Structure 1
Amino acid sequence: MKKAIFLLIGVIVVLFSLSVVFIPWMRLILYVIYSPLNEETNFLVLGLDKDIQGTRRTDVIMFVSVNSKSKEIRITSVPRDLIINGKKINSYYQRNGLENLIGLIEGFFGKKVDRYVIVDYDVIKIIGDEIGPIEVYVNQPMKYTDYSQNLVINFEPGLHKLYGEELLAFMRFRKDYNGDLGRIERQKYIIEQLLKTALKKDIFTLSRTFKKVFDLTETNVKTSELVFLAVNFRDRFNLKGISFPVEYDVDGNIYPGDMKQLKEKYSQNVQDKENEYVFYIVNNTEYQTRIYNVNLYYMWKAAGVIPEAIFFLDKKIWNYPNDLVYILNEKVSIESVKKIVKTVHPKRNFVIKYAKDDLEGYYKLIDLLTSSRNYIDFPVDFIVILH
């Protein structure tokens, strides 16, 4: 499963982990000074925008549940435009304080918030400048100007190599048809790209970056607990993205959806899924019916693999000439995926490729899915498109 992790904790874990790898004598010291966390520890991560006339809003609200035994990390981004008591949740922290925001989040998830991490948006600029450039793919024109925040966004479609200021602008953009939900997906994408780039940097660059990041952080997480995370998750971890359920009114405003469903997902027993695949199926066939999708589900279940979801995609807007599989996890081989899909669909001829080898086609697919409000919880191992 791809190694992507939430806004701050992920960066800290990577920096500590690399220090452990590159400086062997530090291992003994770290094992002595770390403070073990509970088997399950829940974090609230807040990203603050610029101070405008005494007002600071939370542009990023993430709930992160870390299980140190199973090495599983569950993460949910709460839409900043979510309406609570007639106002957007991004102003809740400013109006009601951290303690009340924590209470609200605990009510959503049915879990106690054990630790909080509050970071300034300048953290992204610092990381981007220190370890950049960061490669990102833009799949549609992105243009927006906000003079009050000195924010100018102007990206044309294609591959871009970005440093701090531009990276932050890309991450904050939300003036497309997906609004705040689209920005949540870009946040996940940027975090993943940052982590990939960080893993290639030398320990001196990472140490310098870590110090600058930590200086802009308010948290009740102890340094010794961060060391524990680094040591405990150094070798592996499984990241599971869980969507925040929402409902829309006729004006397009976002409200909390089925919170019972969300609580159930976070109350399920955590199991080590090291040998399982996380994947989605896109029904791009002429049979755009619920019954057909149900039959697909049971076909795959009978083969011992269960998709996270099966989406409809009309052939009028996507008409690839073959059945297709995009592999997102580079640790998953084409042969292993071929064996799975041939077991379920022996008569179909699949084109199987890594998404990185066809970014234009892959991003077009994701764009079409999100425009139809079909959202994928990343990271995933592969996506199957049935033509």
Structure 2
Amino acid sequence: MGIIKFVFLFLMVLSACTHQPDKLNHSGDDEPPKQINSQQNNTVGYKENPPGTFLLVGIDSRGEDQSRADTILVAQYEHKHNQLKLASIMRDCYVKIPGYPQHYHKINAAYYFGGTELLKETILVNFNLQIDHVVTIDFQGFKNLVDLLVPDGVEVQVSETMIDDMSMEASAGLNRLHGEEILKYVRYRHDDNSDFGRVQRQQEVLLKLKNEIANRLGSVEGITVLPGIIKEGLGMIETDMQLNAILGIGSQLILNNAASAENLTIPLKGTFQDKLYPHAGAVLEINIPENQEALSEFFSSRSGQNNKEI
């Protein structure tokens, strides 16, 4: 999951909850630019203008004016073939940032320097990938969403080392964690696998959240709390996507039983080196052409054989 995969899951859940099958109608160091709140709407038809490739960004923020992107994920849903694809881009990838005086920095710094517009441009320049829409959520939004959707928490295995490192309110072994502690769990990266272990924990939590949400919203109690969940939840994200587009893609995913997604992690195994630069710190110096090609093949292929990881 990570913060971002959870946001996408949340959008799908909201879409399924608000969609009515018998009335299927999809019409409808600079400061980051202001984004449009997700509750805005328009009359652009989903079928005529499907949301192609969009960027999901988890923000490393606790209220600061400027923040770095903690999680970067590119998602693509093809309505015709009912395919959902998710490509995670590791935040420490050392890439060219347009307009940056020293030219290269970690990709997550692009958001800090110029918000979503610069991050989109950076992805285009380095990976030849055009972004159509953006969804963002910060740490507080993530914690609130977890507690809103799964008030009973999520069960995970926690180590003593993780507890000490992240100051977690938990005990070694199996724990049922809530928003604050789950955020610490998915952000922990000081084990032998470093940031890559963090991504694995994020994917683990995504699957568990999916099951917890499905169980809750499928109950009688879930039906009664849905109106409040929808109203409160949509206020926790920001996006330039119109509400009808969100409802359209989400309802199609749910109605067509898209139970799984194809995943790709950038950089691929064997295509990067650990480097250290004074202005950027520890980075992943990646082979741009190889990873660009991998992304191109991943998003253009209809095969189910593209679950490449580092």
Query: Which residue of the partner structure matches residue 57 of structure 2?
Result: 46
- Secondary structure of the residue aligned to 1:200 is helix
Bigger RCO (CA 8 Å, 6+ sep): 2
Q: TM-score normalised to the size of structure 2?
A: 0.74
Query: Which residue of the partner structure matches residue 84 of structure 2?
Result: 73
Q: Does 1:99 align with 2:98?
A: no
Q: Does 1:36 align with 2:24?
A: no
Partner residue of 2:153 out of 134, 159, 184: 134
Question: Number of paired residues?
Answer: 265
Query: Which residue of the partner structure matches residue 272 of structure 2?
Result: 247
- Secondary structure of the residue aligned to 1:242 is strand
Change (3 A) 1:60 1:174: same
Greater mean alpha carbon deviation, residues 28-37 or residues 198-207: 28-37
Query: Which residue of the partner structure matches residue 158 of structure 1?
Result: 173
Gaps in structure 1 of 5+ consecutive residues: 21-25, 146-150, 279-306, 310-374, 377-387
Equivalent positions of 1:221-300 (< 5 A) are: 221-234=241-254, 235-237=256-258, 238-245=260-267, 247-249=272-274, 253-268=282-297, 269-271=300-302, 273=304
Paired with 1:74 and 1:119, the residues of 2 have a C-alpha distance of: 20
Deviation at 1:159, TM superposition (A): 1.9
CA contact (8 A) 2:93 2:286 kept: no
Query: Which residue of the partner structure matches residue 9 of structure 1?
Result: 8
Give the partner amino acid of 2:154: E
Paired with 2:264 and 2:212, the residues of 1 have a C-alpha distance of: 25
Paired with 1:114 and 1:211, the residues of 2 have a C-alpha distance of: 25
Query: Which residue of the partner structure matches residue 94 of structure 2?
Result: 83
CA contact (8 A) 1:117 1:217 kept: yes
CA contact (8 A) 1:30 1:227 kept: no
Gaps in structure 2 of 5+ consecutive residues: 29-44, 96-102, 217-221
Equivalent positions of 1:295-310 (< 5 A) are: none
- How much is the aligned-residue C-alpha RMSD, in angstroms? 2.9
Deviation at 1:117, TM superposition (A): 0.7
- Secondary structure of the residue aligned to 2:129 is coil
Query: Which residue of the partner structure matches residue 113 of structure 1?
Result: 131
Deviations 1:319-359 (A, max 9, x none): xxxxxxxxxxxxxxxxxxxxxxxxxxxxxxxxxxxxxxxxx
Deviation at 1:185, TM superposition (A): 1.8
Change (3 A) 1:10 1:308: closer
Deviation at 1:8, TM superposition (A): 1.5
Paired with 1:106 and 1:250, the residues of 2 have a C-alpha distance of: 23
Query: Which residue of the partner structure matches residue 370 of structure 1?
Result: none
Q: Percent of aligned pairs with the same residue?
A: 22
Largest Rg, 1 or 2: 1
Equivalent positions of 1:211-226 (< 5 A) are: 211-226=231-246
CA contact (8 A) 1:198 1:206 kept: no
Deviation at 1:187, TM superposition (A): 1.8
Change (3 A) 1:271 1:88: closer
Query: Which residue of the partner structure matches residue 143 of structure 1?
Result: 163
